[in-house]
Amino acid sequence: MSNEPVIPEFGEASGCVAENRFFCTDWVRDNWADVLQPALVEHVKLTAIAVAVGFAIAFVAALVAHRFRLVEGPFAAFSAIVYTIPSIALFQLLVPVTGLSVLTVEIALVGYTLLILFRNVLEGLRSTPPEVLEAARGMGYTRRQTLWRVELPLALPAIVAGLRVATVSTIALATIAAFVIPEGLGRPIFVALRDYFKTEIVAAGLLAIALALVADALLVLAQRALTPWAHARRTV
Amino acid sequence: MRAPRQAVEIVFDHATKRYPGRTVPAVDDLSLTIAPGEVCCLVGPSGGGKTTAMKLVNRLVELTSGDVRVDGRSVRSLDQTELRRGIGYVIQQVGLFPHMTVAENVATVPKLLGWSRAAIGERVDELLDLVDLPARDYRSRYASQLSGGERQRVGLARALAADPPVMLMDEPFGALDPITRARLQRELLRIQGELRKTIIFVTHDIDEAILVGDRIAILREGGVLVQYDAPDALLARPADEFVARFVGADRGLKRLSLVCLADVPLDPPNGAVTPVAPDGTTLRDALSLMLSEGSQQLLVVDADGRPQGVLTLERLTELLG
């Protein structure tokens, strides 16, 4: 048209985006389907896999440690050491072996869940009152029946408490996965950090927080459903 | 409904338990026979091995030597869990499963034994009824919603669930307040009157033993049996100084509490006598009444107030002799 300077078109960039204000709802609306929603779904997957695998390992380890006390020390020490390694450093250590892959990310995320999950499952299993164990033995429960029908149900509150902490911290930690692979809510944050695009950083951050809150709430509801005795009204 | 099982005999045959590294045995060469349908109280000071001796029966403690036979079969020859499922077990702290309802707790052993759902449901209601907890109110409560006394009632129902011929009770009422304890002791006697189980009842309370026991075994430190007798014989003729001290200086009074006025020969009524006591009164309370009224005798009446006879202090003394 005229000799006006050509301004590059950022979609339907509004003034808000152009001015890089703190939070622009129209950008979020426009980029939900292409950027934010896929990142959120990836984030949920990364977290779910990490917590599920971490729980499986910690659960088995805790069962073994419950049966054989000697196992507790070494596994607790191992998971504590893993826990203290900074995540960036852990990625650095893993990338040469497992490459820039989901596997690298999951190994790290799983590693961080082990300590809390192992400790909570084991504490839960050990929380059965001695007189309850004696009654179970005296009535002819086998060891296995005691574990599955008494000790594990009674450990549920501690187990779910561990799952809550592990899930919330994994959701926070999984943003760092973007160092290694372009997945999760960390990806939009990393992209936006390059030119400090505030809305994208804030939106992704808020989504991570919301995800953590929702996951935590779901676990609380699950616990209420699974442990009706813990909420039974005391006076009748 | 299942027919009530025949009561069985329990025999301790030179039963001994030694723990490694201890010089004194926990149970030392214990031999005694508990007749079918009887309550045997194991009494003694702590360290007397009474709980250990009881646990030899369901093999929560394994024998070092000697034998324990239930219904003629050595407990050593039986599978541990099978044996335990056939023996009711009640402990002081009850040990109800906190995550199960009252009904689920009571159903524990029938479930282990593979009873049908219908049979279990029916049995649970019947048992809650037996221990005086209306099934409709209590079936779906949790242990945290029960008082101490109610918990032990459920504990008792749970132990009775599969109708075991043998019951082991380890200070079952020891943690309850005196009023609740007295009530549960009476309930146990009522239930035992109906069911006639062979019961081993551990207690450190000689009064409780006198009340619930058909026979009392007194164990001394080191798990040595000092005396095994019916309550009256134990009080009348303590085997030694230890038993005499253990049953207490008031053993004469305790003997009197075993008998009530209806059970003793009375002198014919001789005109107006006060005080008056119904014939259900124990001799102990009768004596107390005479002493407090400053009387040498009292008039015994039946439930309808009709005079039955006169009890004199002199006659009472003869009865103790």
Residue B223 has pLDDT above 70, yes or no: yes
Q: What is the pLDDT of residue B270?
A: 75
Residue B3 has pLDDT above 80, yes or no: no
Across the range B48-74, mean pLDDT stands at 96
Averaged pLDDT of chain A: 91
Report the Cα B283 to chain-centroid distance in Å.
Answer: 22
User: Of B172, B171, B168, whose CA–CA distance to B57 is shortest?
Assistant: B168
**Closest Cβ–Cβ partner in B82, B145, B158 for A233:** B145
Q: What is the pLDDT of residue A12?
A: 56
Q: Which residues of A touch B141 (CB under 8 A)?
A: 232, 236
**pLDDT tens-digit profile of B106-152?**
999 999 999 999 999 999 999 999 999 999 999 999 999 999 999 99
Least confident of A191-205, B113-127, B165-179: A191-205
High-pLDDT (> 70) share of chain B, %: 98
pLDDT band at B47 (very low <50, low <70, confident <90, very high): confident
pLDDT band at B1 (very low <50, low <70, confident <90, very high): very low
Place of tokens 């001789």: B270
Q: Between chains, do B144 and A137 touch, taking CB under 8 Å as contact?
A: no
3-state secondary structure of A121: helix
Sign of the Cα pseudo-torsion (B277, B280, B286, B288, in order): negative
Query: B67 has which bridge partners?
Result: B13
Q: What is the pLDDT of residue A236?
A: 47
Q: What is the pLDDT of residue B37?
A: 96
Give this prediction's pTM: 0.86
Q: Between chains, do B97 and A145 touch, taking CB under 8 Å as contact?
A: no
Under 8 Å between Cβ of B10 and B39? no
**pLDDT tens-digit profile of B269-283?**
877 778 899 988 999
Q: Which residues of A touch B152 (CB under 8 A)?
A: none
Q: Which residues of B touch A138 (CB under 8 A)?
A: 58, 60, 84, 89, 91, 168
Q: Between chains, do B109 and A139 touch, taking CB under 8 Å as contact?
A: yes
User: Of B14, B7, B8, whose CA–CA distance to B68 is shortest?
Assistant: B14
The alpha carbon of residue B110 is apart from the nearest alpha carbon of chain A, in Å, by 10
Cβ neighbourhood burial of A230 (10 Å; 0-12, 13-18, 19+): middle
